[in-house]
Amino acid sequence: MENNQYSMEEVMPIVSELAWKYTGCDHTSVTYEKAQMLMEAVLYCIHEYERQESNALLVKHISAREAYEQGRAIVMDKLGKLQELYNQLIIDFKDYGSVCLRDTIRQGIPAFLDNYDFRFAPQETLLTLDYPILRDDTSISGISRVLCYVQCICLEQKFLKKINEHDIVETLRRYQRDYEHLIENICEIILQDMIGHMILDKPLQETGLSREDLAILKEILAGKTAEQVRAYAFKALEQLVARYYDGDRDMLEYLSCGIPDIMTRIQCRIVFFCQ
């Protein structure tokens, strides 16, 4: 983890103080690996402050210690937000049969909350976050990544709750009979049909895309560049979110991250069924 705003002379006293606390006042027993971990912990907190301010120039006006302490406060605040968000999420959480989604949310997140060390290792993500989301920023780690991950899961749950659970399961089973052990995003699978229906102006209650539907989609998308196809799909998604989700911009932004893969899947189905 790099940080160019402060010199080692400014950061090392904070690391030494942290090592003193970590070892119970005997910093001489700190291994190289632990010292490296504590250095990363300090830099992580400073970076959290920089990200919160969204203006690196502000960092020049405060000391490394002030940036670290404010960043650590941000870490603790995010940890509280994650716990609160998870408590709300789990009340009515549905995995729709996906073992990967179930295990990640019901086992993985509680394990993170139990084991996360915001004092000495806030940079550690601890989880592999096996269930894939549509927007996963691997450039961040620790509490920031897990909080963003759970926020995305909350958007997915909000999206899926508007759809009949039986229809969701049927769509997943039609996609793959034993879908339960797939390590794929549920929303991306469901959205294939929904975006196709929006483009065709078909009722969403009519699940699935028939061979005839795919033939019409082939004609509609014919001659369009990849960029034009994605723009067409985004417009359909925008209409979907406006009609059924009160124009939720966070949801639109999140779901739109899946459009490239979704349209690739649809076009592959068109090629397969409409040769």
pLDDT digits (tens, 9 = 90+) for 8-22: 999 999 999 999 899
Average pLDDT over residues 161-183: 94
Joined tokens for residue 270: 């068109």
pLDDT band, residue 1 (cuts 50/70/90) = very low
% residues pLDDT > 70 (the chain): 93
Tell me: the pLDDT tens digits for 245-271?
999 999 999 999 999 999 888 888 887
In a domain, 10, yes or no: no
On the question of pLDDT at 213 being above 50, the answer is: yes
Tell me: the pLDDT tens digits for 41-100?
999 999 999 887 554 555 567 899 999 999 999 999 999 999 999 999 999 999 999 999
Indicate the number of domains in the chain: 1
- Confirm if 190 and 101 have CB atoms less than 8 A apart: no
In a domain, 209, yes or no: yes
DSSP state of 93: -
Residues 6+ apart with CB under 8 A from 100: 130, 131, 181, 182, 183
Tell me: the pLDDT tens digits for 111-145?
999 999 999 999 999 999 999 999 988 899 999 99
In a domain, 113, yes or no: no
On the question of pLDDT at 208 being above 60, the answer is: yes
In a domain, 210, yes or no: yes
Domain that holds residue 255: 164-273
* Global confidence as pTM: 0.91
In a domain, 16, yes or no: no
On the question of pLDDT at 214 being above 90, the answer is: no
Residue 44: half-sphere exposure toward Cβ, Cα within 13 Å: 26
Residues 6+ apart with CB under 8 A from 160: 94, 96, 168, 186, 187, 190
- Confirm if 64 and 10 have CB atoms less than 8 A apart: yes
In a domain, 62, yes or no: no
pLDDT of residue 269: 80
In a domain, 222, yes or no: yes
In a domain, 142, yes or no: no
Instruction: Please tell me the distance from the alpha carbon of residue 186 to that of residue 235, in angstroms, as a whole number.
Output: 21
Average model confidence (pLDDT) for the chain?
A: 90
Tell me: the pLDDT tens digits for 241-251?
999 999 999 99
